[in-house]
Amino acid sequence: MNSHLSIGIIGLPNVGKSTLFNALLKRQAALVANYPFATIEPNVGIVDVPDERIELLCQYVRNDNPRTDKQIPEKVVPSVIKFYDIAGLVKGASQGEGLGNEFLGHIREVDAIAHVVRDFEDPNVIRAGSIDPINDSQVVSTELILSDLQIIEKVISNLEKDVKVSKTPESSRKLEVAQKIKAFLDKGLLPTDSDFSENEKEISKSLNLLSTKPVIYVLNVSEDKLKEKSNQTAVLGPNNNENTIRICAKIEADLASFDEKERVDYLSVLGIKEAGLDKLIKKCYQLLDLECYFTMKPKEVHSWTIKKGLRAPQAAGKVHTDFERGFISAEVISFEVLKTVESYKKAKEKGLVRLEGKQYVVRDGDVIFFNFSV
């Protein structure tokens, strides 16, 4: 995985991608204009992952270091997501229409896709697609499929040559996966995780195809629709709405200009429990099977993003390669347990900090101190 999780915001022109992106950055970082291709180059922004545990950990560090002239902790590093605001896609992009292959090339660089679909009416905003969210989402999906069909045929041809020459099990497995993907694409279908074994998923990922990237469908609705109690949405994509969220990009843009108290008050007035962008970020983590653990000391409180199921030495390697290479043990306490005493020193005194070895599987919310020797 890259040092930063990366998400590409895609969709037809004028569906609210740049408005959403601006809200993510909490500033007007992308050009928002009422015409197709207002975004020519992908705007890139690093966004903090909302996590109330970070501020509490900072307080616990201060509790353990009450007498000092220094700022404690000296540094706070939250987990982050890199978002790409990518130019609007149009029908025929796989054949070079609109920004064509340039657009598709940008999508290949990201870990996952946030596919924004318009489900609001505004006579002042030109509509590039139909008035049907399902049809609009299928236009984009079809272009991804058509683009990948061109690539997978070349991949299969090259792999067939490799198999004849090398006859290795790896080449044969890769060819089988490529052929399996092509079978889905030939039917106009996006392959999903459930269609592949864990080994096949890894091989599929190495092919770097657009149609096999994890997708979150972001249904951009009007303020009135968002306040409706029903969460029913158009069925977008192959997962029966499992990866579909409803947001109002306009509300998110308003929220971006508020401080924390104003945000809470505004959401309360609207009758909304959680900001759409927070839901999007959490859904990204869920979709990619990610979680966070923490390191805390006076110099730095740091949140580290890892794949679920990672063992302690590999998690230590996220901090520094020496930590993994010379791993001895990990002193571990869950955030929820630490929260009961509000002090790492007190937690150690009470015997709440556990000593774990190389086989320990790190869990979301673990606070860890690594012991190592190189």
pLDDT digit of tens for each residue in the chain (374 aa)? 445 788 988 888 778 888 888 887 765 444 344 444 444 455 778 888 888 999 999 999 999 998 777 889 999 999 888 888 876 655 554 454 444 455 566 778 888 999 888 886 665 555 555 567 788 888 888 888 888 898 899 999 999 998 988 878 888 999 999 999 999 999 988 887 778 888 898 898 888 888 888 889 998 888 777 766 555 555 566 655 578 888 888 888 888 888 778 888 988 888 888 888 888 888 888 888 899 999 999 999 999 999 999 999 999 999 999 999 999 999 999 999 999 999 999 999 999 999 999 999 999 999 999 999 98
Q: Write the DSSP string, 171-222.
A: HHHHHHHHHHHHHHHHTT----GGGS-HHHHHHHHHTT-STTS-EEEEEEE-
Q: How far apart are the first and last CA of the chain?
A: 25
What pLDDT, on the 0 to 100 scale, is given for residue 39? 42
Distance CA 194, CA 337 (A): 35
Helix or strand run (H / E) with residue 317: helix 312-319
Distance CA 291, CA 309 (A): 9
**Contacts by residues 99-106 (CB-CB < 8 Å, ≥ 24 positions apart):** 99/37, 99/40, 101/147, 104/143, 104/144, 104/147, 104/210, 106/8, 106/42
- Cβ within 8 Å of residue 308, ≥6 positions away: 289, 290, 291, 364
Distance CA 362, CA 310 (A): 6
> Is the preceding peptide bond at 191 cis, omega within 30 degrees of 0?
no
pTM (predicted TM-score): 0.80
Q: Between helices 17-25 and 249-256, what is the axis angle to 10°? A: 20
